[in-house]
Amino acid sequence: MKKILDLMEQELRQAFEACGYEAKFAKVVLSNRPDLCEYQCNGAMAAAKAYKKKPIDIATAVVEKLTGAGADASGAQAGGADASGAQTGGADAASMQSGSAHPVFSEAVAVMPGFINLKVSGQFLAEYMVRMAAADKLGLEAPEKPETVIVDYGGANVAKPLHVGHLRAAIIGESIKRMGRFLGHRTIGDVHLGDWGLQMGLIIEELRDRKPGLVYFDESFTGEFPAEAPFTISELEEIYPAASAKSKTDEAFKERAHQATLKLQKGYAPFRAIWQHIMSVSVEDLKKNYSNLNVEFDLWKGESDAEPYIADMIQMLVDKGLAYESQGALVVDVAEETDSKEIPPCLIRKSDGASLYATSDLATIVEREQDFHPDRYIYVVDKRQGMHFEQVFRVAKKAGIVKQDTPMIFLGFGTMNGKDGKPFKTREGGVMRLETLIAEINEAVYARIMEDEERTVSEEEARRTAGIVGLAALKYGDLSNQAVKDYVFDIERFTAFSGNTGPYILYTIVRIKSILNKYRENGGIVSEDALEKNILPAANDSEKALMLLISRYNEVLESGFAETAPHKICQYIYELSNAFNSFYHETKILTEPDEARKDSFIGLITLAKRVLETCIGLLGIEAPDRM
The series of mean pLDDT values per 10 residues for the chain, 627 residues long, is: 96 96 97 93 96 96 83 38 42 40 92 96 98 98 97 93 92 98 98 92 97 95 94 92 95 96 92 96 94 96 94 97 95 96 95 87 98 98 97 98 98 93 77 90 93 82 95 97 95 95 97 97 94 96 98 98 98 98 97 97 98 98 93
In a domain, 597, yes or no: yes
Q: What is the pLDDT of residue 71?
A: 40
Task: Give dist(CA 116, CA 97) in Å, integer.
Answer: 10
502-521 vs 566-586: helix crossing angle, rounded to 10: 40
List the one residue out of 80, 83, 105, 107 whose CA is nearest residue 94: 80
In a domain, 72, yes or no: yes
Please count the structural domains in the chain. Answer: 2
CA distances from 571 to 64, 488, 500 (A): 36, 18, 8
CA angle 64–69–74, rounded 5-degree value: 80
Q: What is the pLDDT of residue 92?
A: 37
Q: Does the pTM of the predicted model rise above 0.95? A: no
In a domain, 447, yes or no: no
In a domain, 16, yes or no: yes
Q: What is the pLDDT of residue 90?
A: 36
Alpha helices in 198-306 (DSSP H): 198-210, 233-247, 251-265, 269-292
* Chosen domain end from 120, 137, 154: 120
* Chosen domain end from 82, 100, 120: 120
In a domain, 559, yes or no: yes
Task: Give dist(CA 376, CA 378) in Å, integer.
Answer: 7
Q: What is the pLDDT of residue 96?
A: 38
Beta strands in 418-574 (DSSP E): 487-488
Q: What is the pLDDT of residue 305?
A: 95
Tell me, what CATH number does 511's domain have?
Answer: 1.10.730.10
* Contacts for 605 with CB less than 8 Å, ≥ 6 apart: 512, 515, 516, 580, 583, 584, 589
431-457 per-residue burial string, b: 16 or more CB within 10 A, e: under 16: ebbbeebbeebbebbbebbeeeeeeeb
In a domain, 302, yes or no: no
Tell me, what CATH number does 43's domain have?
Answer: 3.30.1360.70
Task: Give dist(CA 391, CA 393) in Å, integer.
Answer: 6
In a domain, 513, yes or no: yes
* Chosen domain end from 90, 120, 150: 120
In a domain, 310, yes or no: no
Report the helix count and the strand count for the chain, using DSSP H and E. Answer: 20, 15
Domain that holds residue 608: 502-618
